A and B are shown apart, each in its own frame.
Chain A
């Protein structure tokens, strides 16, 4: 199959098939048995007619019985081999599909956030669903048709050449044309199928995103515009499909036409030979009949080739995803941190999202156990600093360290256990409240879970829900109010029990009593942990040991809140303004 697919797709396919090579061999053997049994049928029937049936001679039917017995054996063998083959090849296909899904999912999960920002979830979804489905057909029926037809074509070629070499050569002259046709088909259908894949992605992306934000769509009356966009991309998908269908509708019949032309040539040349007395009529007739059996499997092969092309376009996309490397890769030789103390430091850190510089030469040392508050205007870069500590991104220049070890050298698993973030967006998964809490620490007992919920004041509303901790919060937690979501997200992080806890606006949607409750709880809960608290409500900041004021990517003030509050700096003015706002 060399040359039929691009290299990286071929490698992917080969890698998938490798574990099943013995099963594939078994499938090939079964196919051979099946084909042999099947091809023996006409032969046995002919034998039966020639030898077993003599008109008028009543009595001796034993030859006929014998041959019928042999036939019964052959069709039983055929059926058994067929059944076994279908199951084996189906199993190979299903397993390969499973492996591909698994590999791809694992790989995508390893990729960094910058990939997700660029790629969007809709694209990822379409890769993992519709592209894999496009392979399904190849894996579930491809093996059957390619093996069967190849065997038939080869067998018939041999028969043809043995029947009559001259006519056989005439037939083989058609082969270069088949190759040329195939080449034409390949280059065009490759483009067509790639267009199909590109278009379906657009359909899925628009679909997923617009329905995901249905509240805003309704409130701002965007339905007609969305419909317009959807119909546009859907039409693109349709047209790409029509294009590929047109190619297939040309290719298959063209191969068929070629068969007709070859038959004509054979008839003309053979007829000439017969007339010249160089060939018997019987051989010519047989030849023409066999030609049909030559071009039927060719048709089948062309079908398979089409399926292969369609799958090839999908494979290419999948191989493209597999080729993506995480921009925040795990070190191959990670340094073991025996027990994380939780000292965090920025050493001359500069960071840019793609080309957009956000942090400039930040130098910072947070000893283990310190509670640090980050304050500053929106867009100053606070969340970005938090993301660097959690190693969602790597600094462009400089390094971020945990216990004096560059984060790039820490094993991902260890880092994730040590550093946990409550992100600004409190995302919950569909599933029960309990499951969402346990996401923080899958091994936790129910008591520990309830304890964590109680600690930050979430227990009350959770137990008031119809099924308590077993209430399904549904997609993204829509079953909860935003404050409730935030409390669950908070409790989830506590349950994780990290050394370093980052709270990014973790109480912004709470009412004041709940917020105060959380703040009071924080004093005990943060004991012995390093904490980075980002907050616009300065009440939260007051529990910090140290405040950092971030402005346009630089730390411009640094000190204990009690000092900064009274100083004439940025924090002083922020604090005064905040006090006024409370009045």
Chain B
């Protein structure tokens, strides 16, 4: 690849340079000497050189383009892999638009710089050096004048660099913010429409787009300035050469022919100067883009396999929280503190607590979506942080409180990353979750559910997520309020099926409603960040005030009060 590139680069330059020579030969040779018979062969030579040039230029562009595109793709694949490997809290804290603009436009900027700017820069430098050498040979004094006229470039480009680096950064950041607004609009459109807040969103968008426009105008002005300066300098040197060279000619120190040749060299500097202008702007954008990419690439996954992480073939499913304390990253509040809980193999423990007490947080700790801040979570006596993530997670089935579905087929949504699952097993999971509606979808399991599953009803989405969790009978099930969106009939049916599915399986079951607690062998009440009480449902109802408030049928009194 490199060889092809180098050969074609050199080849195309040589061909391009030799064409004027051939033309000169034709004019000076056959035409001047009136040799009609030599005209055709020379013409053929010219065509041949032209063809060679064509082939080399094609090869050069094709290969440099292909190589840089491969580089772009590799970079983007790595970036994506890196993002996928970063822990959930990273994604919580980053605006998705900023991540998207990095993956698409920043990476493209890097590619453009590598594929165009570097080559241009090389060509420019080569041209510049060659021209200056030619000039020096012709008349070193005039050459110094030209070089002198070009010196301010250093100053101009430094000043440009100082200003443009901030502009480029601001521009790319603002592009990311704009993308974020677009993303929020596209995903939150149901709410926007429900409140008729299109004008509000429009205003937010236009304000942000206006900021971006302001910044790009700023950038345009800076670029206009440097391009004009770079364009002006060769012209200025042209005039100086004419004046000083003209005086030299008058004084007889230079021939007219020499002056003409010199001037034509000066003309040759115009294009390289333009190219420098482009390269300077591109370089700033490139640097900003790499800076922005590195901000993400430099953040190391905090939840990853430790060096001596082990696999765990078969899990009994014993879960222990030992002195667990948890704070969300970038927050100072302890959500959980000194929490101790053991779930024996095959046991199901219900987690009960007020809204915002930390039940979901506790559930996240088991598959290591977050890591404890102190203490440890153990699976079969092994700290989960000492297990390989894939191995750990393969033992745990999770149903999140909002069913996270993707716009893919029902089948994809169920299987996710697991190895091939048998039809029989799929059917069992669907039955447990009472998700038989999937068979009635137009293409059965191959039906695509809309983004976030929005083409399904709320209860259907939740049942699909539940089926996904129980699929493959993992030894540990973490179910976060899995029945909040289904009606009482369906709830009863699921509970019955779940009771069977939970046999021999360790379960952690977050619940708000008493009915589901029938599935739990014991219930743990979470309050103040730790387990305030633990026991069977009946025991706790009897002994614990808070528990009663959370789960008793106080409602009945309420209702009777209302009826009375």
Contact = CB atoms under 8 A, between A and B. Distances in A.
Given A108-B185, A272-B39, 9 more contacts: A49-B242, A94-B220, A105-B201, A117-B454, A208-B183, A220-B468, A224-B417, A242-B69, A461-B355
A234 B76 contact: yes
Contacts of B298: none
| Main DSSP-derived SS at the B contact region | helix
A49 B249 CA distance: 10
B217 A91 contact: yes
Nearest to A121: B186
Interface stretch (B255-263, B309-317, B337-345): B255-263
A421 interface: yes
5 contacts: A97-B216, A219-B400, A257-B54, A511-B512, A582-B515
Contacts of A97: 213, 216
Contacts of B454: 117
Nearest to A42: B267
Given A75-B239, A210-B406, A375-B487, A221 B190 contact: no
Contacts of B252: 55-56
A267 B46 contact: yes
A440 B191 CA distance: 10
B37 to A, nearest CB: 10
Interface in B423-469: 437, 442, 450-452, 454-460, 463, 468
A78 B367 CA distance: 68
B491 interface: yes
B103 A207 contact: yes
B331 interface: yes
A423 B458 CA distance: 10
Interface string B203-225: 00110011011001100110111
B285 interface: no
Interface in A214-270: 214-227, 230-231, 234-235, 237-238, 241-242, 245-246, 248-250, 252-254, 256-257, 260-261, 263-264, 267-268, 270
Contacts of A54: 250
Q: How large is the interface on A (under 10, 10 to 19, 20 to 34, 35 or more residues)?
A: 35 or more
Given A260-B19, A267-B26, A474-B93, A49 B260 contact: yes
A392 interface: yes
A522 interface: no
A31 B252 CA distance: 40
Interface in A79-131: 79, 82-83, 86-87, 90-91, 93-95, 97-98, 101-102, 105-106, 108-110, 113, 116-117, 120-122, 124-125, 128-130
Interface in A136-151: 140
A417 interface: yes
- Scoring B91, B194, B489, B563 by chain A CB atoms within 10 A of each residue's CB, the highest score goes to B194
Contacts of B19: 260
A500 B198 CA distance: 20
A51 B96 CA distance: 68
Given A439-B197, A514-B354, A219 B491 contact: no
B227 A516 contact: no
Nearest to B356: A481
A322 to B, nearest CB: 16
Interface residues of B, number: 171
B35 to A, nearest CB: 8
Interface string B24-55: 00110011101010011001001101110110
A193 to B, nearest CB: 14
A48 B80 contact: no
Nearest to A234: B73
Contact of B50 (A101, A264, A514): A264
Contact of A41 (B84, B238, B512, B515): B238
Contact of B250 (A57, A109, A110): A57
A48 B246 contact: yes
Contacts of A344: none
Given A267-B23, A378-B458, A219 B487 contact: no
